[in-house]
Amino acid sequence: MDTVTQSIAPSELATIVGTHRAPLIIDVRKAEAFAESEYFLPGSVRWDYHAGVAMPPEVSRAKRAVAYCVKGAEVGINGAALLAKENLESRYLQGGLRDWREAGLITVKKRSDLGVDGERVSRWVTRARPKIDRIACPWLIKRFIDPRAEFFYVPKSDVFTFAETNDAVPYDIPAAPIEHSGERCSFDALLHAFEINHAPLNRLALIVRAADTDTLERAPEAAGLLAVSLGFSRMIADDYAMLEAIMPVYDALYEWAISATEGESERHNWIPS
């Protein structure tokens, strides 16, 4: 396989974004083009190779990568070629961000006010002892908004002080920029803030909302998420260890949401003889 000149269609990449099957997605747009745009691809990291910036550390841990630019031409192709020299299976995105957006595929809006500008590492802080929303939000951020994001759990009374002194964004606490609004929870608020409209994530949001707001009748899967979340909370006392341990649960729910949204149905129908 020619790892330098191979491309990937937007429709193909879109099916695996946010999943364990997704390649490392690298934004190689020139600085001017990057600054002019309000959006970036979900789960992507920035690398301005034109300015001589060092490769992202994620490259050394990846096996596959997709470079994207504005139009899917020379900038993206050259970026993919440079990545291929690192022994990666490297491709560039056909048509770049332009064709991706024209196809109506999922993007993330820059929100500098929330610490997300597509370049710097965002920081987030919330109340200690998370159960559902305070785990679901970090999952959404890591998989779609900022894969490098850092998370902190502190006593409720310390959240805003910590946020101010550590350049972090408070969430899932009253008066925070990302918080419950009516029947919607913080997971919903993140989707709205970053203009993420994606059917599988909307389905997952319903499950999170039902489990987090004690309205389990809204989604049959919510009771299972609640039970698993409470079980993890009992098993693991350290909040950071629990976040790491339960992330695959949300990965699995998202994979299920993709298939369910696409109309696939798999049921266990074994009947004892």
Bridging pattern class, strands 7-8 and 89-93 = parallel
Res 2: pLDDT: 44
Res 271: pLDDT: 72
Return the exposure string of 79-101: e unless at least 16 CB atoms fall within 10 Å of the residue's CB, then b.
bbebbbeeebebbbbbbbbbbbb
Res 50: pLDDT: 94
Residues of the chain with pLDDT under 70: 1-5, 263-268, 273
Condensed to tens digits (0 to 9), the pLDDT of residues 46-75 reads 999 999 999 999 999 999 999 999 999 999
- The pTM (predicted TM-score) of the whole model is 0.94
Bridging pattern class, strands 150-154 and 169-170 = unpaired
Domains and CATH numbers, the chain: 7-108 (3.40.250.10), 112-261 (no CATH)
Residues 6 or more apart whose CB falls under 8 angstroms from that of 19 comprise 251, 254, 255, 258
